[in-house]
Structure 1
Amino acid sequence: MNLMRAKEIKDDPNMKNVVYKGKYVYINEVNDDKQKAIIHYLKESGTEFEVDVTELNEE
């Protein structure tokens, strides 16, 4: 996924299907400078971590 699409998904009130390493995630924040996203797994709320936006996929 590219940075612009990650930002669009984060700002969209309708949740999109975003996958990281085979599991669905929610994008909490997107950092333009580092081109990273802070995400958490949908079924494991409370465990946020940072990944490169290129590692995210939209289904």
Structure 2
Amino acid sequence: MNLMRAKEIKDDPNMKNVVYNGKYVYIEDVNDEKQKAIIHYLKESGKEFEVDVTELKEE
């Protein structure tokens, strides 16, 4: 996924299917400078972590 699409998904009120390492995730925030996204797995609330936006996939 590219940076602009990650930002669009984060700002969209409708949930999108985003996958990281084979699991669905929610994008909490996107850092333009570092080109990273702060995400958490949908079924594991409370565990936020940072990944490169290029590692995210939209289904």
Normalised by the length of structure 1, the TM-score is 1.00
Does 1:51 find its partner at 2:45?
Answer: no
Structure 1 runs (4+) greater than 3 angstroms displaced: none
The aligned counterpart of 2:34 is 34
Distance 1:6 1:55 in 2: 11
For structure 2, list consecutive stretches of 5 or more residues without a partner in the other structure: none
Residue in structure 1 matched with residue 15 of structure 2 by the alignment: 15
Shift of 1:13: 0.1
- Count of matched residue positions in the alignment of Structure 1 and Structure 2: 59
For residues 12 and 45 of structure 1, what CA distance do their matches in structure 2 show? Answer: 20
**Unaligned runs of at least 5 residues, structure 1:** none
Identity over aligned residues, as a percent? 90
Cα RMSD of the aligned pairs, angstroms, is 0.1
Report the Cα offset of residue 40 of structure 1. 0.0
